């Protein structure tokens, strides 16, 4: 896990060494273990490696400092900050090249199947000088070209400078676990692991992207398109690669992966589905435990994180798996709350009791949340939709204090296995559309027993999806127009929210169960959660790994029938079935879905109330132009008096204002 940057400079070549240093320094938290640079000329193909202040001592004497003058004019620069996870020696230094120095790479992430790929590449005659997965990517690219992406199982964001073709080749993993941001204005190109590194460039103007801000305020969405909160800065989406030809100033972005929705696994028994799931889940966890640095796990008490912790316990205790630097007992990290509505401590305790893990717990409160919020937003680069981000921050801070550098996390389970209530209405629509009345009756009854009046809402929402799509759009626009009463009318005028843009452009309308699964997983839910996770973990120099996002497991679950995801009011059916003998009964059988959140809605009425009043009443907030400040004040006071609960909405307004102060005002 690392931080990467690159400049294909169109404004003076070798004069931008200082910019390169500033870019890597800005993201040094992503890689405190090593620092390296490549300077090259796309015309003459001349190149040289450089060091920095944080370069490992073994290489300091061999490489010139990046701050020293160059003997030639360069127009290509790659920078790298390393978090050493595999092969902790100087052999893992980046930028890394092939044997003759014609192909160079900077890489952030992990290729979990690198050992088997290394063996295969060795049989083709490739020679390796390190034990890193980065070198496997490099030789894999030499052997297979762009097709190497289909061979990798992992999370990655990398850039390869191929001087033979005078081309930059960049890629992001299938689901966008690792970040890749870039700027291209037709004259030149720059990229980085985090937006703040790009903002070091004087030629990039710090200006809000109004459409992204609108989607965030009106629909609670972010990371659903390639746009970011900064005008002109884009992200490479998961499953895409990018090619840049500096001599021609040509940029190509193309998709290389999509979930194969046409593959269906039908007609098997529950036991067969569960066995297939468990085999893939177990293997995914085993691969993500490969590390030369200490490993731990997040434990929220939910079904997903508990499954990971209990499976690791089984692998260590009954199968004798040894994890380097971890000891005989795994370490877990949890957040608990004094507010019982948000606390999952009883389930955490049950997992601890069953597994005997070495457990560490943090208790976030209003004071610690407010104190760290500006710092969190700075690391996130953008405002935050989800309130859990502050608790997650403190969990990873705790993990760092305990000396852990790799943490397994349950992210992706809810999106993959239909863990949200909103999946019910889509399922009911499918059952009505296909005349599966018996199944519909069973699911309605089961849902009613657990959800009561919520079932009626789900039923009518499902029936609504049967209407012609044009009529649905008109009804949605009438009942739930874009934005809300607090949006500034001038700002909102002429703008359309994300889902309506998709529908107007003829794209898939998410009115079926499979479509909703795909939409939340690929576009509108998971990408934002993965950004939160990456930025929070890397802020503390920790590599987070997500076993539920192994592409083999994802494809398997998407191919399963709906009854393996929801059955008789029970979500994540195949996971519960596969893990029933491993999990505590209280976790395996729990029917409630408690999102990992922070009780800021409560704190906003008490400890944080004065802070919120001061912020929303400030001249800067009132002059932004995004929101109607007087309406915001009314809504906040209604929340503070307990007349309504709009904690999530207030959180978005709060984090947007802090983001403006941290990034735009400065």
Show which residues are catalytic: 2
Tokens of 478: 């009438």
- Token pair in block for residue 613: 């009043």
The order of strands in the sheet holding 103-111 is 96-97, 103-111, 154-162, 167-172, 240-245, 250-255
**Tokens of residue 248, six digits:** 């021609």
| φ, ψ at 384 (rounded to 5°) | -120, 130
d(CA 509, CA 498): 11
Q: Which residues of 502-512 are buried (b: 16+ CB within 10 A; e: fewer)?
A: bbeeeeeebbb
Q: What is the DSSP letter of 227?
A: B
Q: Are 160 and 105 in contact (CB under 8 A)?
A: yes
* The CA-based dihedral angle spanning residues 157, 161, 167, 171, taken in that order and rounded to the nearest 10 degrees: -10
Sign of the CA dihedral 523, 527, 528, 529? positive
SS (H, E, C) 3-72: EEEEEECCCCHHHHHHHHHHHHHHCHHHCCCEEEEEEECCCCCCEEEEECCCCCHHHHCCCEECCCCCCC
Tokens 């949200």, residue located: 420
d(CA 526, CA 386): 12
How many other CB atoms sit within 10 Å of the CB of residue 477? 12
Phi, psi of 184 (to 5 degrees): -145, 125
CB of 314 closer than 8 Å to CB of 278: no
User: Helix, strand or coil for residue 331?
Assistant: strand
Q: Which of 535, 537, 293 is nearest to 404 (CA)?
A: 293
CA distance to 544, 601, 619, 639, per residue, from 614 (Å): 36, 17, 10, 16
Residue 553's H or E segment, with its range, is: helix 551-559
β-partners of residue 296 are 331, 407
């Amino acid at each position: 896990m690392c931080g990467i940057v690159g400049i294909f400079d169109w404004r003076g070549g070798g004069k931008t060494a200082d910019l390169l240093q500033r870019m890597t320094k800005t993201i040094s938290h992503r890689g405190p273990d090593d620092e390296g640079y490549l300077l090259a000329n796309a015309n003459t193909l001349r190149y040289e490696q450089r060091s920095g202040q944080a370069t490992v001592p073994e290489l300091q004497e061999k490489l010139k400092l990046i701050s020293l003058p160059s003997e030639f004019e360069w127009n290509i620069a790659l920078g790298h900050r390393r978090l050493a996870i595999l092969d902790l020696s100087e052999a893992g230094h980046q930028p890394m090249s092939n044997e003759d120095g014609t192909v160079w790479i900077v890489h952030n992430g992990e290729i979990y199947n690198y050992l088997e790929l290394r063996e295969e590449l060795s049989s083709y005659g490739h020679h390796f000088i390190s034990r890193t997965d980065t070198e496997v990517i490099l030789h894999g690219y030499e052997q297979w070209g762009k097709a190497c992406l289909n061979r990798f199982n992992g999370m990655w964001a990398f850039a390869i400078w191929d001087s033979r073709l005078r081309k930059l080749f960049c890629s992001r993993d299938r689901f966008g676990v690792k970040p890749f941001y870039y700027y291209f204005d037709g004259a030149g190109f720059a990229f980085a692991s985090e937006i703040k590194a790009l903002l070091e460039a004087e030629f990039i103007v710090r200006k809000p992207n109004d459409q992204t801000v609108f989607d965030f305020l009106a629909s609670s969405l972010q990371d659903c398109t390639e746009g970011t909160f900064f005008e002109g800065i884009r992200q490479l989406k998961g499953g895409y690669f990018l090619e840049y030809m500096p001599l021609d100033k040509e940029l190509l972005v193309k998709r290389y992966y999509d979930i194969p929705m046409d593959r269906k696994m039908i007609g098997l028994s529950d036991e067969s589905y569960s066995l297939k799931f468990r085999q893939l889940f177990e293997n995914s966890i085993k691969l993500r435990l490969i590390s030369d640095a200490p490993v731990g796990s997040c434990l929220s008490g939910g079904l997903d994180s508990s499954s990971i912790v209990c499976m690791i316990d089984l692998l260590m205790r009954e199968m004798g798996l040894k994890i380097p630097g971890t000891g005989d007992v795994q370490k877990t990290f949890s957040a608990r709350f004094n507010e019982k509505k948000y606390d999952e401590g009883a389930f955490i305790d049950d997992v601890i009791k069953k597994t005997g893990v070495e457990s560490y717990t943090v208790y976030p409160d209003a004071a610690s949340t407010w104190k760290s919020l500006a710092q969190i937003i700075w690391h996130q680069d953008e405002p935050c939709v989800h309130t859990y981000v502050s608790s997650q921050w403190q969990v990873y801070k705790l993990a760092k204090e305990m000396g852990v550098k790799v943490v397994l996390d349950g992210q992706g389970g809810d999106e993959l296995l239909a863990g949200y209530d909103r999946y019910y209405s889509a399922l009911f629509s499918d059952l009505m559309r296909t005349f599966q009345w018996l199944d519909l009756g069973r699911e309605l009854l089961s849902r009613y027993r657990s959800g009561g009046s919520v079932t009626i809402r789900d039923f009518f929402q499902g029936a609504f999806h049967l209407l012609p799509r044009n009529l649905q759009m008109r009804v949605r626009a009438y009942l739930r127009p874009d934005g809300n009463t607090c949006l500034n009318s001038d700002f909102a005028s002429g703008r359309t929210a994300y889902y309506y843009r998709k529908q107007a452009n003829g794209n898939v309308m998410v009115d079926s169960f499979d479509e909703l699964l795909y939409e939340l997983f690929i576009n509108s839910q998971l990408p934002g959660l993965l950004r939160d996770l990456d930025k929070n973990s890397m802020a503390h120099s920790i590599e987070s790994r997500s076993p539920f996002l192994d592409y083999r497991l994802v494809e398997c679950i998407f191919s399963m029938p709906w009854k393996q995801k929801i059955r008789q009011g029970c979500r994540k059916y195949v996971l519960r079935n596969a893990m029933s003998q491993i999990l505590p009964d209280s976790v395996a059988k729990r029917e409630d879905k408690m999102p990992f959140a922070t009780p800021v809605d409560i704190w906003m009425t008490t400890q944080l109330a004065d802070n919120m009043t001061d912020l929303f009443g400030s001249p800067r907030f009132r002059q932004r132009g995004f929101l109607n400040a007087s309406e915001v004040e009314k809504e906040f006071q209604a929340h503070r008096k307990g007349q309504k609960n709009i904690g999530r909405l207030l959180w978005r307004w709060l984090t947007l204002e802090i983001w403006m102060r941290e990034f735009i005002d400065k």
